[in-house]
Each structure stands twice: as C-alpha cells, then as structure tokens.
C-alpha cells in the first residue's frame, strides 16, 4: 500500500466546517486557536458560525479552509500510517506543505491570508471571470481558449479531470470560450460565481506581491514529497516547494496530471483531509482502481480509521 494525503482548495468551504472536530477533540481546537492568534482575529467564528458572506471572501476563505484541513489532519495523525506523498489543489498545496513538515502552520495561515487578498486585488471586480467546461478533453479546451484569446486573456485554470477543465481570464474572452465549447459539443458549461479569475496571467501582480513574503519564510525539506500543482512533478526540497507556490498563482492547476503522477508512483490509497469531498470525486473520475477516503468530520474520521486497522 502507498498512501497520499490530499487537501482541498477554494470552493470546499461551508459554514460550520471544523466545528464538530473542534468541539470533540483538543488537537483540532488548538489549531483553530493558533489560527486566531496568528491572524489576530476570530477566524474560527467565521468557520463555525459564518455568516456565509464573510466566509466567501477570498481573504477569509483561504485561511479558513487551510485551518479546517490542518485541524482534521491533527486529529488523524498517528492513527493511520504516515503518507508516502502529499498534494493539494491550489491553496490546498499550503495545507499539504504543512502536513509534510515544510511550512509552520502559523506561517502558512498568514501567507494564505495575504495570498487571498493579493489575488482578490489583482483584477478589478467584474473584469475577470471563470467557467467550468465539462465533457471536453483538455486539449480541445486549450484550443478553444487560444481562439477566445482574440477577445482578451483566456486560458485553462484548473485541469481537474480528463473531461473537466475550469478556464479563467477576462470576462468577454471567457464568455466567448464558453460559447465555442457549447458549439463543439461540451456536455455542460457553467459560469462560476467567483470573485476573481484565479490561476491565469491576470494573477501575475498577485504572484509578484506574494514572492517577498514567501522568501521571508523558512521552508524545510519535506518529510513526504509533494506533487506540485503547476508542473505535476514530485519535489522534496523546501526551495522547490517555495518556487512552486510562486508559480502556481498565475499558472494552471494540473490536478488530473498530479493524480496520474501519484498513481504512477504506486499510490493505492488517497485520503482527502479537510472540508467537503470535491477532490475525492475528481480522483474517482481519474481512476476507479484506488481506494479513496476523506476526513472532514467525526463520521468520516471514524470511517477512515476503520479502513486502516
């Protein structure tokens, strides 16, 4: 058996996340207290009680998901085998680096707070857009984006499965790409309710603002190697992990390739750690051969522990 811990990104949040674990386990509760102290505000109250409008703000969403993921990790650690690999989707890469001993949690929660603010501020409201295209292969979506780029920036942002790609860019170009995808037989297209066009070249200003903050933080070599979002490559040094975090802000998340890289490395079991089960569903679409578990609340924790006698 080879095991990978995987960590979700933005979109997995929901009001109440982490509260059950924090109420029932001191290890989880301490993580939320550490996050509140690091940010000097009551992030845990936003996670546990909302309001939803506050939780949806990118600058809150990112540290909230990271904190909930690490709280679940702390409850799980030592009760199942340590992972052979880690990976995370977008901001989940920070959670994965904390899990691998590369980043301190308090450093990570402050970094993702700034990351969320920088990404939000990189593009004026209404200028950018994102859309999900289902039922088209990644190469076809890339060609559609190239054609749509005549109307502005447009490129793949999240290559989630062989038939699900999220695109991002300037609104007119993204809307044109959606129309092209429909004409070429996409099974479904959805304009996403997001606050900014993440993981495209419009995020370059955010990457430039984040770089000095990342350079100021200590990155240790990893206890378990990570598969990076931007290159879908296995890395194990702190320097490589830092470079990947800079690059991923304005680059596509190659999640489908990342999962395939883990499968090629022999991973047989995936455990998604954090709110929701988005990544579990994506992994299932990529491979039916592996075992997929998740830990986000007491029930899913119990089921996962039962699977590792």
Same structural domain, 112 and 230 = yes
Q: Given pLDDT bands bounded at 50, 70 and 90, which one contains residue 233?
A: very high
The pLDDT score that the predictor gives to residue 99 is 98
Based on the fold, state whether residues 166 and 230 are members of the same structural domain.
no
Q: What is the pLDDT of residues 16-59, one digit of tens each?
A: 999 999 999 999 999 999 999 999 999 999 999 999 999 999 99
Residue 125 is predicted with a pLDDT of 87
Q: How far apart are CA 254 and CA 181, in angstroms?
A: 20
Q: What is the pTM of this model?
A: 0.96
Same domain flag for 216 and 113: yes
Nearest-CA neighbor of 174 among 207, 116, 124, 133? 133
CATH code of the domain containing 215: 3.40.366.10
Q: How many CA atoms lie within 13 A of 150 on its CB side?
A: 7
Domain boundary among 160, 194, 228: 194
pLDDT level of residue 194 (50, 70, 90 thresholds): confident
My answer on whether 80 and 141 are in the same domain is no
Which of 194, 211, 226 is the last residue in one of the domains?
194
Query: What is the CATH classification number for the domain harbouring 173?
Result: 3.30.70.250
What is the chain's mean pLDDT, rounded?
A: 97
Instruction: Clarify whether residues 253 and 136 are in a common domain.
Output: no
Q: Are 285 and 255 in contact (CB under 8 A)?
A: no
Q: Is 235 found in the same domain as 97? A: yes
**Number of domain units in the chain:** 2
End-to-end CA distance of the chain: 13
Per-residue confidence (pLDDT) for residue 158, from 0 to 100: 98
pLDDT above 90: residue 309 = no
Which residues are tagged catalytic? 90, 199
Residue 201's pLDDT band (cuts 50, 70, 90): very high
Same-domain check for residues 133 and 269? no
Residue 89 has a pLDDT of 98
Same-domain pairing of 84 and 223: yes
- Residue 272's pLDDT band (boundaries 50, 70, 90)? very high
Per-residue pLDDT tens digits for 150-190: 999 999 999 999 999 999 999 999 999 999 999 999 999 99
| Domain residue limits at 46 | 3-122+202-307
User: What is the mean predicted confidence (pLDDT) over 199-205?
Assistant: 97
- Of 194, 217, 252, the position where a domain reaches its end is 194
In terms of domains, do 172 and 219 share one? no
**The two three-digit tokens of residue 257, written as one number:** 């390739």
Q: For residues 40 and 109, state if they share a domain.
A: yes
Residue 290 has pLDDT above 90, yes or no: yes
What pLDDT, on a 0 to 100 scale, did the predictor assign at position 123?
A: 95
Question: Which pLDDT does position 136 carry in this prediction?
Answer: 96
- 97 pLDDT more than 90: yes
3-class secondary structure for the chain?
CCEEEEECCCCCCCCCCCHHHHHHCHHHHHHHHHHHHHHCCCHHHHHHHCCHHHHHCHHHHHHHHHHHHHHHHHHHECCECCCCEEEECCCHHHHHHHHCCCCCHHHHHHHHHHHHHHHHHCCCCCCEEEEEEECCCHHHHHHHHHHHHHHCCEEEEEEEECCEEEEEEEHHHHHHHHHHHHHCCCCEEEECCCCCCCCCHHHHHHHHHHHHHHHCCCCCCCCCCEECCCCCCEECCHHHHHHHHHHHCCCCECHHHHHHHHHHCCCCEEEEECCCCHHHHHHHHHCCCCEEEEECCHHHHHHHHHHCC
| pLDDT above 90 for 217 | yes
Question: 88 with 182, same domain?
Answer: no
Closest CA to 68 of 227, 215, 273: 273
- The interaxial angle of helices 92-99 and 58-76, nearest 10 deg, is 30
Task: Say yes or no to pLDDT of 258 above 90.
Answer: yes
- Does 105 share its domain with 216? yes
Mean pLDDT of 217-233: 97
């Amino acid at each position: 058996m080879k095991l990978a811990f995987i960590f979700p990104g933005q979109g997995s949040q929901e009001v109440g996340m982490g509260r059950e674990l924090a109420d029932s386990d001191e290890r989880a509760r301490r993580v939320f207290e550490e996050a509140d102290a690091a940010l000097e505000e009551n992030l845990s109250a936003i996670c546990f009680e909302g309001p939803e409008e506050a939780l949806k703000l990118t600058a809150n969403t990112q540290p909230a998901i990271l904190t909930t993921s690490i709280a679940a990790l702390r409850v799980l650690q030592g009760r199942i085998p340590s992972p052979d690999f880690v990976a995370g989707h977008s901001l989940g890469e920070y959670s994965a680096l904390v899990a691998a001993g590369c980043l301190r949690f308090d450093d990570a929660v402050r970094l993702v707070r700034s990351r969320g603010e920088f990404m939000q501020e990189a593009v004026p409201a209404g200028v950018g857009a994102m859309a999900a295209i289902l039922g088209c292969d990644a190469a076809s979506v890339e060609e559609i984006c190239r054609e749509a780029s005549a109307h502005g920036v447009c490129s793949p942002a999240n290559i989630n499965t062989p038939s699900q790609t999220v695109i991002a860019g300037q609104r007119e170009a993204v809307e044109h790409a959606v129309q092209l995808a429909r004409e070429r037989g996409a099974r479904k297209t959805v304009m996403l309710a997001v606050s900014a066009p993440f993981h495209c070249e419009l995020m370059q200003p955010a990457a430039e603002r984040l770089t000095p903050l990342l350079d100021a933080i200590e990155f240790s070599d990893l206890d378990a190697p990570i598969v990076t979002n931007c290159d879908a490559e296995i890395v194990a040094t702190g320097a490589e992990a830092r470079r990947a975090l800079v690059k991923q802000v304005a680059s596509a998340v190659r999640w489908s390739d990342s999962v395939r890289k883990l499968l090629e490395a022999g991973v047989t079991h995936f455990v998604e750690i954090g709110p929701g089960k988005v990544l579990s569903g994506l992994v299932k679409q990529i491979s039916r051969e592996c075992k997929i578990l998740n830990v986000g609340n007491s029930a899913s924790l119990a089921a996962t522990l039962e699977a590792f006698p």
